[in-house]
Structure 1
Amino acid sequence: MGRAKGSGYIFKKGKVFYLQTKVNGQTKVISLRTGNRLEAERKVQQMIVPAIEAKTKEEFALYVTQARKLVSSNSLTLAEAWDKYLKSPKRRETCSKTEANHKTRFERFKTWLAKAHPGVQTIAQVSDSVTSEYAGVLWEEGLTAKTFNDHIMALRLVFKTLAREAGISENPFGSHNIEKKAEEHQTRRELSETELLNILAAPDSPELHLMNKDEMKVLLHLGAWGGLRLKDAALLKWDTVNMDMGQISVVPSKTRRNKRPVIIPLHPALKAELEKARDWDNGSGYILPMVAERYGRNPAGIVKDIGRIFRHTGIATTAKSEKYSRRKLNVAVAGFHSLRHSFVSFCAKKGIPMAIVQSLVGHGNPAMTRHYTHIGTESARQAIAALPTLTSKSLDIKQSRSKLINSLIEKLNEQDEETLRKAAILFKIDF
């Protein structure tokens, strides 16, 4: 796409194209806010070239008016951006907790921006260099890779959702500008059978002071024998349980978008605890009404009590991180999620097929990967070990046997030949 003579020239600096032109005799450099050459050319043709080529004042005034309309589409302010985001039909559906986290991160960016770049008032004015600077500030604060990535992804989502309304063609928080950090994964450890039994029995101990002890005991059983995540177990309802069929059918909160229920057969120990839970059914629909109410207003309180249960049985729940230098606090090494990992471990040891366990806990569970990769390796090793050892001597013997059998067959009539072949098959003689 060509440009009219005198309209200036386009050049690329870093990952963004700019237009250098003259306005009233003065050289101006204008960011075209795109890293795509064709898009840059289109912007120049659409907004600048027509004005330069205007032959009359009336024609020039018309182009100015059109340019102002284009500019007005880029005037979505940062102050009104969050409300626009919430009302956008393009906004991805998220849970209230995730949405609150997104808002916190967006407000933090706005606060930093007001101090570092007070002149930036609109979404369209947020450049790649500004967001790169902000990302650098976050990283220098010592955030873990996961926290950093979550922060950037939240802002990337907000800007992506508002892109058309804000008049931006390229997301300044996009991966072209800010790369994802390699995350430091820390999983909860699994429990031995003895440890698990001690944890399940802990709520019965008079020495352990705990809120809603009876309900907490059922909660632990849901994790141990159902492989449920804490949120799903705490908020489980009676309409997901079919005691006659002996199963739970629930859509996990983490994968609720696909609306695919997970069918969990009831372990005898879990079924017995659910029978006891009928005694405190208050009509709310929740199997654990007190736990569900508390989880709704203070999930951290439930997590802390689970930690107390583990520590009561002698299991440490945190440890210093020697591997991850950016972590300022101790890392969690055991907790409710340990029950889920242990569930996978017990399934693997009992020989339950991987596909069945995957249908219960998902493909990405770390324990799933660890145990079934090991089982797959062991199965492959046993299969290879079962293969016959071939040597030149064994091949010579095999060929001699084959020649002998063939010579015998040639001397027999057709009926005897068929009989011999059947016998050879029965005795697994290869000829």
Structure 2
Amino acid sequence: MSVAKRKTGSGETDYYYYAFSLKGKRYRGVCTGCTTKPAALAFEKKIREISQALSEQKSVGALVENFKRELTGGDTITLDAAFELYMSKPHRKQPGIQQQQINQSQWNDFVAFMHETYSEIEQLDRVARFHAEAYIRRLREHGRFVQKITYRRSYQGKTVAHSYDTQTQLSGRTVNAFHKTLKSVFAKLQEDAGILYNPFDFDMMDNNSESRDAFTPAELKLIGNHLDPFVRPLFIVGICTGLSEGDICTLRWNEIRDERWIVRKRRKTGAALEIPILPPLAKFLHEQKSLSYDNEYILPEHAAMYANNPSGISYRVKSFLEGLGIQTTRTGRNRGRATSVKDVHSLRHTFAYMAGVYQIPLPVVQSILGHMSPEMTKHYQAHADREAKEKYLAQMPDFIGYSEVKVIGSPNDGLREDLLQKIRELPAAKLENVADFLHSL
């Protein structure tokens, strides 16, 4: 080993320099930051060890794989600690609490798979493409790795433990949701962990999922004639606004503006919503004030259930619909298990469908529903102002029979209004003539 300071015109250098030979090759350089000989010797020893290891690599690929942490400057991040670090990073859209729990459950399932199947892999940067492909293949063929899910929920002041067996067949959409979460975790921590490539950066599978159906006018009439106290608010708010189940249940009184507008952000996407309050909803809100105006939520019972047992909302709605003879599930094309096709979320589809039937412009509908992901939607949304929303939503009829809503927008509306105006201006004597004429038609 050889370290020494170099002579200069004014004496010698502040730092030490190293010089050694290895396998016929000469290595020279500065001992960075070393002003004492012991520190310089330790630095030179480290450089010699790295050079020895580098000289033993068989290929460029082996060199990159074995020295990627030195090349990237990444830290050691374990699989167990990765998700918490991932959530501490800034996100373009911060997911809600419920979505965070879903994402963590998906990550935990992958970690359990790795611990059991590839126990030697403990660090994030050691996960390779074939590990990722093996896990996604497991999801596609056998479902989640953890077959029994245990969780705790608070109910009437007590914490109760629950568990259930997971499904052995997952839809393409569900598998892709896992894939997306895992890919996102690796992408967000790529620089921190010194990851050279994202192991989950490969094609997702086709969805092939069953989508929700809209309620038909006949079904809505049937529903409107049999609404019970629990289901009634969900259908009135949902059919008049297109809000999702979570947004209906957590709607607050302070989001009602001037008794004419709902102004809030979507729980799922954070999209800002401004929705005109239609007459059926206005009537319902007026009645509801005497029941819950002193509460933060318009529907306190539903808000509490959504917070503690969200599946209970869907269960009660489906039970109500099935009691009316309305089919709520359908067996998927490529899977044996039934999937939900009619539930609370179907009200959003119904809202969009009926808006299309009554020729409400697409940008207005998208603005109300809060669909902001496609770029074209964002472009259209800019043209849907409050006046346009009020004008076009007033055309939608009250299919559940909660109030009389005038359907406008017919091509003959102008002529009808002209006739009505002329009738209003007629003297009483001539009104009798008009009445006689109308009776003769």
CA RMSD of aligned residues (A): 3.0
Deviation at 1:335, TM superposition (A): 1.4
The answer as to 2:261 corresponding to 1:247 is yes
Give the TM-score normalised by the residue count of structure 2.
Answer: 0.61
Tell me how far apart the structure 1 counterparts of residues 70 and 268 of structure 2 sit (CA, whole Å).
41
Question: Could you tell me which amino acid in structure 2 is paired with residue 271 of structure 1?
Answer: A
Deviation at 1:189, TM superposition (A): 1.8
Contact 2:186–2:198 (CA<8 Å) still a contact in 1? yes
TM-aligned CA distance change 1:98 to 1:303, over 3 Å: same
- 1:223 is aligned to 238
- Residue ranges of structure 2 left out of the alignment (5+ in a row): 1-20, 29-40, 52-66, 143-168, 378-441
Deviation at 1:231, TM superposition (A): 0.9
- 2:131 is aligned to 130
| Mapping 1:207-356, distance limit 5 Å | 213=229, 216-244=231-259, 246-256=260-270, 259-260=271-272, 262-281=273-292, 283-321=294-332, 323=333, 325=334, 327-356=335-364
After superposition, give the CA deviation of every residue in 1:262-298 in whole Å (9 maximum; x if it has no partner). 2222221121111111121253321101111111111
| SS of 1:263 mapped into structure 2 | strand
TM-aligned CA distance change 1:189 to 1:70, over 3 Å: same
Tell me how far apart the structure 2 counterparts of residues 332 and 51 of structure 1 sit (CA, whole Å).
69
Tell me how far apart the structure 2 counterparts of residues 69 and 185 of structure 1 sit (CA, whole Å).
41
The answer as to 2:368 corresponding to 1:360 is yes
Tell me how far apart the structure 2 counterparts of residues 68 and 115 of structure 1 sit (CA, whole Å).
26
Question: Could you tell me which amino acid in structure 2 is paired with residue 250 of structure 1?
Answer: R
Contact 1:240–1:249 (CA<8 Å) still a contact in 2? yes
The answer as to 2:46 corresponding to 1:61 is yes
Question: Could you tell me which amino acid in structure 2 is paired with residue 221 of structure 1?
Answer: I
2:188 is aligned, of 148, 151, 161, to: 161
| Mapping 1:124-203, distance limit 5 Å | 124-141=125-142, 142-175=169-202, 179-203=203-227
Deviation at 1:318, TM superposition (A): 1.1
TM-aligned CA distance change 1:92 to 1:62, over 3 Å: farther
Question: Could you tell me which amino acid in structure 1 is paired with residue 81 of structure 2?
Answer: E
Give the TM-score normalised by the residue count of structure 1.
Answer: 0.62
Deviation at 1:184, TM superposition (A): 1.3
After superposition, give the CA deviation of every residue in 1:250-273 in whole Å (9 maximum; x if it has no partner). 2222330xx52x222222112111
Tell me how far apart the structure 2 counterparts of residues 89 and 342 of structure 1 sit (CA, whole Å).
36
- Residue ranges of structure 1 left out of the alignment (5+ in a row): 1-49, 205-212, 370-431
Question: Could you tell me which amino acid in structure 2 is paired with residue 228 of structure 1?
Answer: L
TM-aligned CA distance change 1:129 to 1:196, over 3 Å: same
TM-aligned CA distance change 1:91 to 1:334, over 3 Å: closer
After superposition, give the CA deviation of every residue in 1:377-405 in whole Å (9 maximum; x if it has no partner). xxxxxxxxxxxxxxxxxxxxxxxxxxxxx
| SS of 1:110 mapped into structure 2 | helix
Tell me how far apart the structure 1 counterparts of residues 306 and 257 of structure 2 sit (CA, whole Å).
24
Question: Could you tell me which amino acid in structure 1 is paired with residue 361 of structure 2?
Answer: P
Tell me how far apart the structure 1 counterparts of residues 26 and 133 of structure 2 sit (CA, whole Å).
39
Contact 1:202–1:309 (CA<8 Å) still a contact in 2? no
- 2:36 is aligned to none
Question: Could you tell me which amino acid in structure 1 is paired with residue 246 of structure 2?
Answer: K
Is the helix fraction higher in 1 or 2? Answer: 1
Tell me how far apart the structure 1 counterparts of residues 127 and 105 of structure 2 sit (CA, whole Å).
18
Deviation at 1:201, TM superposition (A): 3.4
Tell me how far apart the structure 2 counterparts of residues 54 and 102 of structure 1 sit (CA, whole Å).
53
Tell me how far apart the structure 2 counterparts of residues 241 and 195 of structure 1 sit (CA, whole Å).
29
| SS of 1:254 mapped into structure 2 | coil
Tell me how far apart the structure 1 counterparts of residues 69 and 195 of structure 2 sit (CA, whole Å).
14
Tell me how far apart the structure 2 counterparts of residues 129 and 320 of structure 1 sit (CA, whole Å).
33
TM-aligned CA distance change 1:79 to 1:332, over 3 Å: closer
TM-aligned CA distance change 1:92 to 1:305, over 3 Å: same
Tell me how far apart the structure 1 counterparts of residues 291 and 49 of structure 2 sit (CA, whole Å).
72
- 2:31 is aligned to none
Deviation at 1:65, TM superposition (A): 6.8
Tell me how far apart the structure 1 counterparts of residues 27 and 172 of structure 2 sit (CA, whole Å).
57
Tell me how far apart the structure 1 counterparts of residues 22 and 189 of structure 2 sit (CA, whole Å).
29
Tell me how far apart the structure 1 counterparts of residues 105 and 22 of structure 2 sit (CA, whole Å).
43
Contact 2:96–2:267 (CA<8 Å) still a contact in 1? no
| SS of 2:275 mapped into structure 1 | strand
After superposition, give the CA deviation of every residue in 1:124-174 in whole Å (9 maximum; x if it has no partner). 111112222222222221432111111111111111122122111211111
After superposition, give the CA deviation of every residue in 1:78-103 in whole Å (9 maximum; x if it has no partner). 23323332333469621122221222
Count of paired positions = 298
Contact 2:171–2:209 (CA<8 Å) still a contact in 1? no
| SS of 1:203 mapped into structure 2 | coil
Question: Could you tell me which amino acid in structure 2 is paired with residue 348 of structure 1?
Answer: G
Deviation at 1:69, TM superposition (A): 8.0
Tell me how far apart the structure 2 counterparts of residues 320 and 267 of structure 1 sit (CA, whole Å).
36
Is the strand fraction higher in 1 or 2? Answer: 2
| SS of 2:86 mapped into structure 1 | helix
